[in-house]
Amino acid sequence: MSKRRVAIVGAGMTKFVRRAQETGKELAFQASKMALDSCELTLDDIGAVCLGTAPDAFDGVHMKAEYLSDGAGALGKPYMRSYVGGGTGVFAVIQGWYHVASGLFDTCLVVCEEKMSSCQPHPQGAFLTIFDHTTERALGPNLLWIFALEMNAYMTRYGLDKRDIALVSVKNKRNAADHPCALLGDPNITVEDVLNSEVLAWPVQRLDVSPISDGAVAIVLAADHVARRVTDKPVWIEGVGWSLDTAYWTNRDLSYPTYVEEAARMAYKMAGITEPRKQIHIAEPYDPFDYKELHHLEGLLLADKGEAPRLTADGVTQRTGDLPVCPSGGLLGVGNPIAAAGLMKVAEIFWQLRGEAGARQVPGNPKRGVAQAWGDLMQVGTVVVLGV
């Protein structure tokens, strides 16, 4: 529906690690440099820079975008930071898309960085301040608690067993063993390992969760005429969608992510997708927790409500299955530097559609993929559809 076609022409990614030696600026620089080098462009060719990063409290820096600006290559350029919590990584692409699709810029560098390990003693402390100051914060809630509520609601609604959900963690951590930037890849992990891991907030156990991580990812966007000049393998942004639900999450049905469905419908409409299950060949839904991959597959209309666990058990979501899901290894396997993890998903679809995913490459020359992220108080969905 947009008047101007926008393509991804380059991508770069740092290793995701628990405690990076680099500062956030350096991580952003490394990813940006790799992305530019990958398409043989320099900062002089870049019209605008978009940055995605989650709460300022991780770094303890007010106006974090300003602080990261030089690392992101934004000196003397139009520069803008968006944030929608965990949804930021995919939203940053949407922001870059409207920079180029509007006609204002021919190229845009999109950078997502997260340095969570500098938050001492633990980033959970920063998350305590995301709750409503009057109604919720006084209770001292922890993020894991509300995700436990949601996971429980999902399991109860559809009569699921923990084993049904643990399969996601196993699949993704095994997939990540093939990812050179992964923090948590493990080719030998089993369902029993997940079920026997420490209980954090029932039913959430340690291996159901992607822990904190540091890292950065960058991509280069270009308008049609530039993209064709820069590369013979542009990957087009065919549709984008985003949706934010109410802040009063206590009033919602936690077993289904309506906000993801809204975002997906917007992106599918723009991409001209009428039957997502047939027209999408590969998916990277957001999986900071294993049940979220299932949740999001349903929200993305790639599975009926309550059916995603069965697809997983049947192997449909394996790399060799009908619908490969998180072939990268996802957040559970590659790691979860929040905003960077979302952009990692977009970069993965980019590499998969170009056939450049190496050992992670899904068979059958996929032509269209979807990446999605989620965040805030379980209320935001961001979706990008890519195609070749």
Partner 1 sequence: MIEQVAIIGVGYSGYRSLTPDLSYKEMMFEAAVRAYQEAGIDPRADVDGFVTVAEDYNEGTSIFDEYVPDQLGGVLKPVHTIGGDGIHGLIAAYMQILTGAMDIVVVEGHSKASNILTKPEIMAFAMDPVFNRPLAAHPYFIAGMEMQRYLFETGTTPLQCAQVVVKNKANALQNPIAAHPANISPEEVLFSAPVAEPLTQLEIAPHADGAIVMVLASEKTARALSDAPIWIRGVGWCNDTFWLESRSWSEAWYARLAGQMAYRMAGLRSPRYDLDLAEVDDTFAYKELQHMEALGLCQPGEAGILTEEGATEITGDLPINPSGGSLGCGHLLDASGLARVLEVVWQLRGQAGPRQVEDAELALAFGWRGLPTTSGAAIVLSN
CA distance 272 to 257: 22
- Smallest gap from residue 80 Cβ to partner 1 (A): 6
- Options 81, 162, 179, 292; binder of partner 1; rule CB under 8 A: 81
Tokens of 251: 């009033």
- Smallest gap from residue 311 Cβ to partner 1 (A): 26
Neighbours of 248 (CB within 10 A): 12
Of the pair 66, 192, the CB lying nearest partner 1 is at 66
Q: What residues contact residue 325 under an 8 Å CB cut-off, 6+ apart?
A: 171, 282, 283, 284, 285, 293, 297, 312, 317
DSSP state of 16: P
Query: Quick one: 144 exposed, middle or buried, by C-beta within 10 A (0-12, 13-18, 19+)?
Result: middle
- Options 79, 147, 289, 351; binder of partner 1; rule CB under 8 A: 79
Strand pairing of 235-244 and 380-387? antiparallel
Binding mask 25-64 for partner 1 (x = CB under 8 A): ------------------------x----xxxx-xxxxxx
Of the pair 31, 130, the CB lying nearest partner 1 is at 130
Site for partner 1 contains 138 (CB under 8 A):
no
Beta bridge partners of 243: 381
| Range in contact with partner 1 (rule: CB under 8 A) among 80-88, 200-208, 278-286, 363-371 | 80-88
Collapse the DSSP code of 354 into the 3-class scheme (helix H, G, I; strand E, B; otherwise coil) and give the result: coil
User: How many angstroms separate the Cα of 85 from the Cα of each of 54, 81, 223?
Assistant: 5, 12, 28
- Options 9, 84, 148, 353; binder of partner 1; rule CB under 8 A: 84
Number of residues that bind partner 1 (CB under 8 A): 68
- Smallest gap from residue 23 Cβ to partner 1 (A): 8
Of the pair 96, 203, the CB lying nearest partner 1 is at 96
- Options 156, 190, 246, 365; binder of partner 1; rule CB under 8 A: 246
Q: What residues contact residue 150 under an 8 Å CB cut-off, 6+ apart?
A: 254, 255, 291, 295, 378
Helix (H) or strand (E) holding 28: helix 24-38
Site for partner 1 contains 130 (CB under 8 A):
yes
Of the pair 129, 190, the CB lying nearest partner 1 is at 129
Contact call for residues 30 and 216 (beta carbons, < 8 A)? yes
Site for partner 1 contains 259 (CB under 8 A):
yes
- Options 35, 39, 65, 344; binder of partner 1; rule CB under 8 A: 65
Helix (H) or strand (E) holding 290: helix 290-299
Closest Cα partner for 67 from 82, 51, 83?
51
- Options 76, 121, 159, 363; binder of partner 1; rule CB under 8 A: 76
Site for partner 1 in 172-231 (CB under 8 A): none
Of the pair 80, 177, the CB lying nearest partner 1 is at 80
The DSSP result for 200-211, as a single string, is EETTEEGGGB--
- Options 126, 167, 176, 218; binder of partner 1; rule CB under 8 A: 126
Binding mask 223-242 for partner 1 (x = CB under 8 A): -----------------xxx
Q: For the chain, how long is the longest CA-to-CA vector?
A: 56
Binding site for partner 1 (CB under 8 A): 1-4, 23, 49, 54-57, 59-67, 69-70, 74-85, 91, 95, 97-99, 101-104, 126-127, 129-130, 132-133, 240-248, 258-259, 262-263, 266, 270, 375-377, 379-380
